Structure 1
Amino acid sequence: MHDYVRRILDSAVYEVATETPLERMGMLSERLGRDVFLKREDLLPVFSFKLRGAYNKIAKLSASERQRGVICASAGNHAQGVAYSARRIGVRAIIVMPTTTPSIKVKAVKRLGGEVIIFGDTFDDARLHALDLCKKDNLVFVHPYDDPDVIAGQGTIGVELLRQHSSQLAAIYVPIGGGGLAAGIASYVKFLRPEIRVIGVEPEDAASMKAAIAAGQPVPLDEVGIFADGVAVRQAGDETFRLCSTLLDEVVTVTTDEICAAIKDIFDHTRAISEPAGAVSLAGLRKHVGQLDIPGAAIAISSGANMNFDRLRHVAERAEIGERSEALLGVTIPEKPGSYRSFIRLLGDRAITEFNYRIAPGANAQIFVGVALKAGQAEKQEIIALLRNHALTVVDMTDNELAKLHVRYMVGGRVEGLMDEMLYRFEFPERPGALLRFLEGLHSDWNISLFHYRNHGSDFGRVLAGIQVPRNERPAFEQFLKELGYAHWDETGNPAYGMFLGMN
């Protein structure tokens, strides 16, 4: 610890970085009943804390080492830190990146002057290739985490935290990939303030440090999830394991949904969009802080904001579940007129976030429904009990990965022998009773044969509905739509309907 404290205080980080803000998260603090602070490492020049360790390592190289050039393997943020630092110091930088690296990070490295080589499906594949090139071309390898100078550079965050929050502090939650950030912060914080708990946080599907601590040594994971690609490391480092196993108070793990909910919290507070790895520590804080038995504030590290725009839809879909503010249910109801109205009435004024249905032969209908929750799991169990008490079969799919990723989008298909079906697209006003008003206005002999609805957080909900209306009743149906007053479009002639949903 003494050696690392000296290295941290002697760091060259502030030649390129400034002290990042520590911000109180007001809404989350009120919700959790404890002051919560966010360390804004996403505000550094490469939008990640990785600049600290990379620059400190390269700045410490001798003149002869700088002439040789540097190489690293990285899923993105370390790569940007190395490329930025090398350009600043005037050193050639080769970056090996796995094929799974988000394109935003690859483009950023190239803009910073790094020579990018795409190789392998995982970080470990890229690392082995980088080590081969390092030996072949006599380059200097800049490890993303398992290097004393890199660890010391990341440890400067610990210095800032203790200076920025001198009052009572209960815990610091730190994301772990290979462990460099956690090792650096813990080395400094535990030296000066050993009573502060330093808690590592990893994704459940990439918990390499937790596995190492359980085994007593670094061990490779059989599989590594890549949603939080910035911390998707198969095996913890030797040096980082030595430090983390001694200095960390605990390592907690979080799910993809919990990470997405944390991204939403960061956005709500900062209007900045964190990458999944950048929100891991806040996800851990949200999950674990209630277990702390000591008073004081809790800090999470917002470690990066290199998010691919095309991932936002997935994050938004999963955030509500991660916050436990939505229940996803598979419900069996009678396939007969009036069943939908009865079902919606049972839910009362609860907001329906999703509703998927396609008619099928038989006495029962299967619907996939999302319901907004105000009281978390207790309310979900109350809803399930209510539906079952009315003789409906209910399957809780809130934590069903297959349902969340795929099945919710696949409810439907063709139905043989379906007559008089019309397909309409609607915009429903997002207010209680909008769906019930639609259902109650339908004539009893107009059968709903398809229904898809998903709340996207706007003023209007987009709905696709198939309705069986006999030809002689079409004028009455048109009058119903006019009186309903909802924006609508007839999609019966749409080729997408004809190819995938309509009759053969």
Structure 2
Amino acid sequence: MDDFADTALATTARMRALFAATPLQRNDFLSERFDADIWLKREDLSPVRSYKIRGAFNAMRKVRADNPEQGLFVCASAGNHAQGVAFVCRHFDVRGVIFMPVTTPQQKIDKTRTFGGDNVEIRLIGDYFDDTLAAAQEYCVQAGGHFLSPFDDAHVIEGQSSVAVEMLAELPAPPDIVILPVGGGGLSAGVKSYLDVMSPDTRLIYVEPEGGASLTAALAAGEPVSIPGVDSFVDGAAVARIGQKTFAVLKNAPPEDVLQAPEDRICMTILEMLNVEGIVLEPAGALSINVLGDLAESIRGKRVVCVTSGGNFDFERLPEVKERAQRYSGVKKYFILRMPQRPGALRDFLELLGPEDDIARFEYLKKSARNYGSVLIGIETKRSANFAKLTARLEAADFIYRDITNDTTLAEFLI
């Protein structure tokens, strides 16, 4: 055993003063579907519903051990890191100042305040995270505090490795494959560092959101690079630039073991785990499960651990998640239909709908045309194959239409 593994074991033991090990649960539903032995490491069941409490605890503990007088900790976060820091500030009875963007949902602000109590002050600054981060770092220097990075910190990486320590302790035998979500890289770097020593034959699969593939970009460039136009939907893992320290650990990851999950497909996983298993996952927490289908051939008969990294899901987002899932699976589409301005035209159109088709949206876009009017129409059906039949009937009846389901610009403007 090397120094990192020894430290990871000791760190994990110290965490028991704060919270019990998160469950490692065999999932029969997924195991049967993929003909594999699939386990979920339920970080969504930690006290703050994510693994972030681990790194925050270890970093704060070590800073205080080196400098007992340090009583101020500062971070910038709109989500799980903020909640982890708040919880640990209360545990150590130190002061925490947490900077959050002005646009942070009230639910996350309230939850952070609940975890931190009187030990935490929340400051809402900046419309964008970069502005929030700059304000937090400037304040930290002026106030003489210690800035707690969400991932690019050796103590944080060390703390996140406790996920792997618990995993090996709870399994009957080492896993063949571990699937990890990747954002800034703290969790994956910590888990990799421990498993490289304690279970070197375990294959690691890294999963990024398609709209925030910072590890993929760094591997291609040979160093961390900033990626433009990050899609923030998977807010727990949508990071524009992977950490310098985390990439030092992950830089030799085989590119074929780094996968991207489409944001809309992640929505399908969130809904399925909620409806079938009663498990609430945030988008980042669903990443590892989402790619099981991509790996179906290689995981058959293997013992696989998926790390479900977080469950801080805002249910106000549920309609959006359902909408995106339906569109990705092909059971909901939007059309702009050219409707003749004559009596009976709408009835003619309705008669073309199949028994499983349902109108979810109907809106005239142009009402002044003399002969034709444009209609925005959303249709839900039970099977995606029904749309091929519907469009064939539309064309046979000489209805002119345009499918705008995947037209991002039009869909954002009209839908």
TM-score between the two structures when normalised by the length of structure 2: 0.85
Q: Corresponding residue for 1:398?
A: 405
Q: Corresponding residue for 1:107?
A: 110
Q: State whether residues 140 and 146 of structure 2, in contact with CA within 8 Å, keep that contact through their aligned partners in structure 1.
A: yes
Q: 1:23 to 1:334 in 2, by over 3 A?
A: farther
Q: Distance in 2 between matches of 1:331 and 1:34?
A: 46
Q: 1:210 to 1:46 in 2, by over 3 A?
A: same
Q: Equivalent residue of 2:268, what SS?
A: helix
Q: State whether residues 278 and 304 of structure 1, in contact with CA within 8 Å, keep that contact through their aligned partners in structure 2.
A: yes
Rg larger in 1 or in 2?
1
Q: Equivalent residue of 1:182, what SS?
A: helix
Q: CA shift at 1:321, angstroms?
A: 2.3
Q: Corresponding residue for 2:53?
A: 51
Give matches, 1:26-105, under 5 Å.
Answer: 26-32=28-34, 34-63=36-65, 65-68=67-70, 69-105=72-108
Alignment counterpart, residue 204 of structure 1, candidates 205, 210, 213: 210
Q: Equivalent residue of 1:202, what SS?
A: strand
Q: Distance in 2 between matches of 1:400 and 1:31?
A: 33
Q: 1:364 to 1:52 in 2, by over 3 A?
A: same
Q: Distance in 2 between matches of 1:385 and 1:292?
A: 39
Q: Distance in 2 between matches of 1:84 and 1:17?
A: 11
Q: CA shift at 1:178, angstroms?
A: 0.7
Q: Which segments of 5 or more consecutive residues in structure 2 lack a partner in the other structure?
A: none
Q: 1:347 to 1:172 in 2, by over 3 A?
A: farther
1:256 matched to 2:263:
yes
1:6-48 CA-to-partner distances (Å, cap 9, x unmatched) read 3321213222121222334444555555554432211111111
Q: Corresponding residue for 1:434?
A: none
Q: Number of aligned pairs?
A: 405
Alignment counterpart, residue 130 of structure 1, candidates 110, 133, 136: 136
Q: Distance in 2 between matches of 1:98 and 1:397?
A: 33
Alignment counterpart, residue 368 of structure 1, candidates 363, 368, 377: 377
Letter in 1 for 2:81: H
Q: State whether residues 23 and 41 of structure 2, in contact with CA within 8 Å, keep that contact through their aligned partners in structure 1.
A: yes
Q: Distance in 2 between matches of 1:344 and 1:23?
A: 49
Q: Corresponding residue for 1:8?
A: 8
Q: CA shift at 1:355, angstroms?
A: 3.8
Q: Distance in 1 between matches of 2:387 and 2:220?
A: 35
Q: Equivalent residue of 1:55, what SS?
A: helix
Q: 1:148 to 1:63 in 2, by over 3 A?
A: closer
Letter in 2 for 1:43: L
Q: State whether residues 4 and 188 of structure 1, in contact with CA within 8 Å, keep that contact through their aligned partners in structure 2.
A: yes
1:114-133 CA-to-partner distances (Å, cap 9, x unmatched) read 22222333333333333323
Q: Equivalent residue of 2:112, what SS?
A: helix
Letter in 2 for 1:18: A
Q: Distance in 2 between matches of 1:310 and 1:266?
A: 17
Q: Which segments of 5 or more consecutive residues in structure 1 lack a partner in the other structure?
A: 409-504
Letter in 2 for 1:372: T
Q: CA shift at 1:236, angstroms?
A: 0.9
Q: State whether residues 331 and 369 of structure 1, in contact with CA within 8 Å, keep that contact through their aligned partners in structure 2.
A: no
1:183 matched to 2:189:
yes
TM-score between the two structures when normalised by the length of structure 1: 0.71
Q: Equivalent residue of 1:7, what SS?
A: helix
Q: State whether residues 335 and 365 of structure 1, in contact with CA within 8 Å, keep that contact through their aligned partners in structure 2.
A: no
RMSD over aligned Cα, in angstroms? 3.0
Q: Corresponding residue for 1:484?
A: none
Q: Distance in 2 between matches of 1:194 and 1:305?
A: 29
Q: Equivalent residue of 2:265, what SS?
A: helix
Give matches, 1:464-503, under 5 Å.
Answer: none
1:390-409 CA-to-partner distances (Å, cap 9, x unmatched) read 5443433332334544413x
Q: Corresponding residue for 1:431?
A: none
Q: Distance in 2 between matches of 1:325 and 1:195?
A: 41
Q: CA shift at 1:338, angstroms?
A: 4.4
Q: Corresponding residue for 1:299?
A: 305
Q: 1:299 to 1:373 in 2, by over 3 A?
A: farther
Q: Corresponding residue for 2:327?
A: 321
Percent sequence identity over aligned pairs: 34
1:170-201 CA-to-partner distances (Å, cap 9, x unmatched) read 53332222110111122223433344332222
Higher relative contact order (CA 8 A, sep 6+): 2
Q: CA shift at 1:226, angstroms?
A: 2.3
Q: 1:226 to 1:152 in 2, by over 3 A?
A: same
1:215-265 CA-to-partner distances (Å, cap 9, x unmatched) read 111112233332222223221110111112224662222333222222212
1:227 matched to 2:233:
yes
Q: Distance in 2 between matches of 1:364 and 1:71?
A: 57
Q: CA shift at 1:147, angstroms?
A: 1.4
Q: Distance in 2 between matches of 1:81 and 1:151?
A: 14
Q: 1:24 to 1:392 in 2, by over 3 A?
A: farther
Q: State whether residues 37 and 301 of structure 2, in contact with CA within 8 Å, keep that contact through their aligned partners in structure 1.
A: no
1:125-161 CA-to-partner distances (Å, cap 9, x unmatched) read 3333333233222222221111122112112212233
Q: Corresponding residue for 2:289?
A: 282
